[in-house]
A and B are shown apart, each in its own frame.
Chain A
Amino acid sequence: MIPLVMCIDDDSMVQMLSEIIFTDHDFCKEVVKAPDGYTALQYFSEQSKLDSQDQQIPKLVFLDISMPISDGWDFLDKYSKDFPNMQPQTKIIVLSSAIHPEEVEMANAHPLVYKYISKPLEPKHILALKTDPDFIQYFTAN
């Protein structure tokens, strides 16, 4: 299982549904929920102040694009600027309900974006991730 996954979404229903799916498929041990990019950045900022052995850095982030206060793009900008040392450990998946192809293209083209998944999040997505070479390590150990 992935030790820590972060969900950045302002829709509490999405958060709930994601969590259910994660649980159903033994996807992760823990979920950190952030209602917007700003709160998520605050989390990274707090973690960076801790000693490296105490740090809890999510290995995977599900990022919504359309959010109040600080949206997905805003998060990506600031994250790439402020936390370069965390980027190798963390993969970011954009999980969005956007239907505009340009937005999908933009997300896929972003260097920090690992993948684009169109909402809703479905079990097949989780299953695919579990066999993904980048994550398979978390599911084969035991």
Chain B
Amino acid sequence: MVESILLHLYNPIASPSQIGPPDYFQYMSEANNSFSLESNPSQEAILAYHLDNGPFAIIEWDNEFRISRWSQKAEQLFGWTSKEVIGLHFNEFKILPKDEFERIKENINWIENGNEITTVLENRNCHKNGKDLYCKWHNSILRDKEGKMVSIFSMVEDITDLKNIEENLRKSEERFQLAVAGSKDGIWEWDIVNDMAYFSPRCQEMVGQQFETHISGMEAFVNHVHPDDITSTINAYKLHLYERKEMQTEYRLRISDGSFRWFLVKGQAIWNQDGRPIRMVGSLSDIHDKKQMAEALENSEDKFNTVTDHITDIVNMIDRKGIIKYCNQSVKGILGYQPEELLGIHFLTLVHPDEQTRISERFLIQLNSKGPGSLIEFRLRAKDGSYVFFEGIGNVQLHHPALQSIIMISRDITLRKKAEEIIIASEEKFRSLVHNISDIITIISASGEIQYQSASARQIMGYEENGLRKRNIMEVVHPDDLQLVLSTFQHLVLKGGNSELLEFRILNSDGAYFYIEAQATNQINNPSIAGIVVTSRDVSIRKKAEAEKQSLIQELTKNNADLKQFSYIVSHNLRSPLTNLISMTNLLDMDTIETERSLKLINGFKTTTTRLNDTLNDLIHILLVKNNTNIDIKPISFESVLDQVTHSITAIMESSDMELEVDFSGAPAVNFNQSYLESIFQNLITNSIRYKSPDRKPRVQIKTFKNQQDIHLVFKDNGIGFDMELVKDKIFGLHQKFHHHPESRGIGLYLIHAQITSLGGSISVNSQVDVGTIFSIVFKPK
């Protein structure tokens, strides 16, 4: 049984139905074999045997409650013999005490006048000798057709012992209840056999109104145990129940608000003869607050150790004699000692010899004070013999019951000491820097009065060092720049921060002005400066250079404009006599020329005139491209432009039998100038025709594609090509011809190069002799 409950304890969600009914009650009949029946017994004899030898006393009553049968067991039970009582009414002998009769009068009335055929009654009876007996009466009532009682058959069971136990129990229970009610602890009782648990009201109060009745299964209670404590709790019960170890355990129980509280449980079991536990009684006390206090104490100790061991400061406790009583782990990292090594030694032995007197005096003074003292600096000897700088503070807690010591907190300030040294050094450096740099450092008060000027002022401005001291800065600013300097200065004084870099003229000691560049910082709130710091430098040389550069640019711009103008004039002035020449050659009647020589010359004259005209037109065209800053750019379809170009040169294309392979699918259009694109296509195609290979049919492939934002155009032919080594970077130059083709004017590629680059694009070429030429053009997004 206990195992099943314990099993259940392990598994709190199992349903109570898994606990089987107790198998404890086993009716052991004591067979009476001393009596043997004769060979052919009558039914009456058999019945009499059973009635006399059965476990019960048998009594039969007639319809007037007069005794008609009184078995041997009845004689033994009540003391009267059957002879004495047969025919008597129960009132006629003392078997039923008067008070009991009054109590069960109603039940007797039901037997007589009711319609039940069986009743069970428990009542007190009286032995012949006057002793009280407790009996359980199992009555069978025989009734006639009208329901009138004919006779009663009673089987009587002696329950006196049981009743006495109950009574004693009841009485002890009352005493127990009184005891329980008066206790601060809760009392519980566990009927292990029946798995019935009782929890005193105090238990209920402590745990909360969790249990609807005072009696419930132990597992209902166990369900409230904190999951982490279930195993230990069960172990404690087991050890007690099976190994009879003292049962005293602490566990957390869930109380009504859902939180857990610590309880101390003590218990004592009662075992039967077989050694099986049958009952357990115990107490339950709320130890939560105590437990928490203990935990808090533990935590705070932990915390203290954690804090002191992990802070970088060294924490020691020193007693009034100066002996170290405690030291945290930090000492290991800083001085190299194990904390234990220092316990028991006098702290002064660690202090630098030069400082021992001072520190020991301080210690003696502090002994008579209370609480924290003031910060002191000292050196302590590390394990390796070196000394480390510390800054420490002592807290006298000699009268504190838990501390009884001086708590010394010391911090390693080596780094700070070093930093201080660096600062001192850097200050010196700064001072020498200020003395030696060419920049002038000036400190001015908020009113503009010069308070300090670096040595460089003397060299640059000619004043003695601090020669301008006490003078107002505005006195030396050029009158034309005063407005600017004054407003900047006022703004800086009001708003703080840094000024912009200003250029203005300042008076030197010779009475001349020179340019300086200055920047000021408001350091009025910086106590070590309390002024406006102005860093300035002489920029008169730079100013001069700038002025020169400016005039050079102006000159160049003018030259450029003149040149442009000149080229316009040249082209224009050349154009008019040239047109005359063209007209003349056209008017010349060649038929009248007789000599071969003259004809040759006149023809040469005509050809030269035409070529001159072409060249001039090209130059004019270039001038327009180079100067046209305002050309129309819009999305243009490659396809449509190519169509226009091929249409305009149909004749040349047809005669050359050129094959054109076009793929504009990668980028069908480009943001460009229409006439430029026409020029590009026309120049490239006519070039390909002009320089076609005599060995193969001319073939041109044009393809466009997009690469990120750029549009690429690749133009590839299978012409005669050229030697890249010879051409190098000259191919897109003006009047660079690489063939002796009669129509080559060395201008086409120059022109398209100018057109593409003027719109931000680029063109490159690759060629191989007798293989072909590839032009790659990149159009940049506009």
5 nearest A-B pairs in the assembled complex, by CB-CB distance: A68-B737, A35-B740, A13-B604, A68-B738, A13-B608
Residues of A within 8 A of B604 (CB): 13, 16-17
Residues of A within 8 A of B737 (CB): 10, 68-69
A69 to B746, CA, bound (A): 11
Is B600 in contact with A68, judged by CB distance below 8 angstroms? no
Residue among A12, A13, A20, A35 with max Cβ neighbours from chain B (10 Å):
A13
Kindly provide the distance from the CB of B222 to the nearest chain A CB, expressed in whole angstroms. Answer: 110
Closest to B722 in A: A69
Bitwise, A32-44 to B at CB < 8 A (1) or not (0) is 0001100000000
- Is B744 part of the contact surface with A, judged by Cβ < 8 Å? yes
Bitwise, A4-37 to B at CB < 8 A (1) or not (0) is 0000001011001100100000000000000110
Is B740 in contact with A20, judged by CB distance below 8 angstroms? no
Closest to B608 in A: A13
Kindly provide the distance from the CB of B612 to the nearest chain A CB, expressed in whole angstroms. Answer: 11
- Is B726 part of the contact surface with A, judged by Cβ < 8 Å? yes
Query: Among residues 737 to 778 in chain B, which have CB atoms less than 8 Å away from a CB atom of chain A?
Result: 737-740, 742, 744, 746
Residues of B within 8 A of A10 (CB): 737, 740
Kindly provide the distance from the CB of B325 to the nearest chain A CB, expressed in whole angstroms. Answer: 100
Kindly provide the distance from the CB of A3 to the nearest chain B CB, expressed in whole angstroms. Answer: 24
Kindly provide the distance from the CB of A54 to the nearest chain B CB, expressed in whole angstroms. Answer: 28
Bitwise, A51-87 to B at CB < 8 A (1) or not (0) is 0000000000000001011100000000000000000
A12 to B604, CA, bound (A): 9
Closest to B605 in A: A13
Residues of A within 8 A of B600 (CB): 16, 20
Kindly provide the distance from the CB of A7 to the nearest chain B CB, expressed in whole angstroms. Answer: 14
A10 to B738, CA, bound (A): 11
Residues of B within 8 A of A16 (CB): 600, 604
Residues of A within 8 A of B735 (CB): 66
A86 to B230, CA, bound (A): 120
Residues of A within 8 A of B607 (CB): 13
Is A69 in contact with B738, judged by CB distance below 8 angstroms? yes
Is A69 in contact with B608, judged by CB distance below 8 angstroms? no
Residues of A within 8 A of B744 (CB): 68
Kindly provide the distance from the CB of A25 to the nearest chain B CB, expressed in whole angstroms. Answer: 14
Is A68 in contact with B740, judged by CB distance below 8 angstroms? yes
Is B726 in contact with A69, judged by CB distance below 8 angstroms? yes
A68 to B736, CA, bound (A): 6
Residues of A within 8 A of B726 (CB): 69-70
Is B608 in contact with A36, judged by CB distance below 8 angstroms? no
Residue among B726, B736, B740, B742 with max Cβ neighbours from chain A (10 Å):
B740
Kindly provide the distance from the CB of B719 to the nearest chain A CB, expressed in whole angstroms. Answer: 16
A27 to B15, CA, bound (A): 138
Closest to B603 in A: A16
Residues of A within 8 A of B740 (CB): 10, 35-36, 68-69
Bitwise, A124-137 to B at CB < 8 A (1) or not (0) is 00000000000000
Residue among A16, A20, A36, A69 with max Cβ neighbours from chain B (10 Å):
A69
A70 to B723, CA, bound (A): 12
Q: Which of B597, B608, B736, B746 contacts A20 (CB 8 A)?
A: B597
Q: A13-B607, A20-B600, A66-B735 are in contact. List 17 more A-B contacts (CB 8 A).
A: A10-B737, A12-B742, A13-B608, A16-B604, A20-B597, A20-B601, A36-B740, A68-B736, A68-B739, A68-B740, A68-B744, A68-B746, A69-B726, A69-B737, A69-B738, A69-B740, A70-B726
Residues of B within 8 A of A68 (CB): 736-740, 744, 746
A66 to B744, CA, bound (A): 14
Majority-rule SS of A interface residues: loop
A13 to B607, CA, bound (A): 9
Kindly provide the distance from the CB of A26 to the nearest chain B CB, expressed in whole angstroms. Answer: 15
Kindly provide the distance from the CB of B424 to the nearest chain A CB, expressed in whole angstroms. Answer: 67
Kindly provide the distance from the CB of A78 to the nearest chain B CB, expressed in whole angstroms. Answer: 12
Kindly provide the distance from the CB of B478 to the nearest chain A CB, expressed in whole angstroms. Answer: 49
Closest to A67 in B: B737
Closest to A19 in B: B600
Residues of A within 8 A of B746 (CB): 68
Closest to B723 in A: A69
Closest to A16 in B: B604
A66 to B601, CA, bound (A): 23
A35 to B739, CA, bound (A): 10
Closest to A38 in B: B726
Residues of B within 8 A of A66 (CB): 735
Bitwise, B587-603 to A at CB < 8 A (1) or not (0) is 00000000001001100
Query: Among residues 389 to 425 in chain B, which have CB atoms less than 8 Å away from a CB atom of chain A?
Result: none
Q: List 11 A-B contacts (CB under 8 A).
A: A12-B742, A13-B608, A17-B604, A35-B740, A36-B740, A66-B735, A68-B736, A68-B738, A68-B744, A69-B726, A69-B737
A32 to B150, CA, bound (A): 174
Kindly provide the distance from the CB of B747 to the nearest chain A CB, expressed in whole angstroms. Answer: 12
Residues of B within 8 A of A70 (CB): 726
Kindly provide the distance from the CB of A66 to the nearest chain B CB, expressed in whole angstroms. Answer: 8
A20 to B595, CA, bound (A): 13
Kindly provide the distance from the CB of A72 to the nearest chain B CB, expressed in whole angstroms. Answer: 14
A12 to B741, CA, bound (A): 11
Kindly provide the distance from the CB of A109 to the nearest chain B CB, expressed in whole angstroms. Answer: 24
A101 to B742, CA, bound (A): 30
A35 to B741, CA, bound (A): 11
Kindly provide the distance from the CB of B765 to the nearest chain A CB, expressed in whole angstroms. Answer: 16
Residues of B within 8 A of A17 (CB): 604
Closest to B739 in A: A68
Kindly provide the distance from the CB of A87 to the nearest chain B CB, expressed in whole angstroms. Answer: 25
Kindly provide the distance from the CB of A129 to the nearest chain B CB, expressed in whole angstroms. Answer: 22
A20 to B604, CA, bound (A): 12
Kindly provide the distance from the CB of A33 to the nearest chain B CB, expressed in whole angstroms. Answer: 11
Kindly provide the distance from the CB of A38 to the nearest chain B CB, expressed in whole angstroms. Answer: 9
Closest to B600 in A: A16
Residues of A within 8 A of B738 (CB): 68-69
Residues of B within 8 A of A36 (CB): 740
Kindly provide the distance from the CB of A41 to the nearest chain B CB, expressed in whole angstroms. Answer: 13
Kindly provide the distance from the CB of B142 to the nearest chain A CB, expressed in whole angstroms. Answer: 153
A69 to B607, CA, bound (A): 23
Closest to B744 in A: A68
Kindly provide the distance from the CB of A12 to the nearest chain B CB, expressed in whole angstroms. Answer: 8
Residues of B within 8 A of A12 (CB): 742
A20 to B603, CA, bound (A): 14
Kindly provide the distance from the CB of B269 to the nearest chain A CB, expressed in whole angstroms. Answer: 123
A66 to B735, CA, bound (A): 10
Query: Among residues 563 to 616 in chain B, which have CB atoms less than 8 Å away from a CB atom of chain A?
Result: 597, 600-601, 604, 607-608
A10 to B744, CA, bound (A): 11
Residues of A within 8 A of B597 (CB): 20
Closest to B730 in A: A68
Kindly provide the distance from the CB of A98 to the nearest chain B CB, expressed in whole angstroms. Answer: 13
Closest to A39 in B: B740
Residues of B within 8 A of A35 (CB): 740
A66 to B607, CA, bound (A): 20
Kindly provide the distance from the CB of A128 to the nearest chain B CB, expressed in whole angstroms. Answer: 23
Residues of B within 8 A of A13 (CB): 604, 607-608
A29 to B735, CA, bound (A): 34
Bitwise, B680-704 to A at CB < 8 A (1) or not (0) is 0000000000000000000000000
Closest to A74 in B: B726
A70 to B730, CA, bound (A): 12
Kindly provide the distance from the CB of A13 to the nearest chain B CB, expressed in whole angstroms. Answer: 5
Kindly provide the distance from the CB of B607 to the nearest chain A CB, expressed in whole angstroms. Answer: 7
A69 to B738, CA, bound (A): 5
Kindly provide the distance from the CB of B611 to the nearest chain A CB, expressed in whole angstroms. Answer: 8
Residues of A within 8 A of B739 (CB): 68-69
Closest to B736 in A: A68
Kindly provide the distance from the CB of B297 to the nearest chain A CB, expressed in whole angstroms. Answer: 104
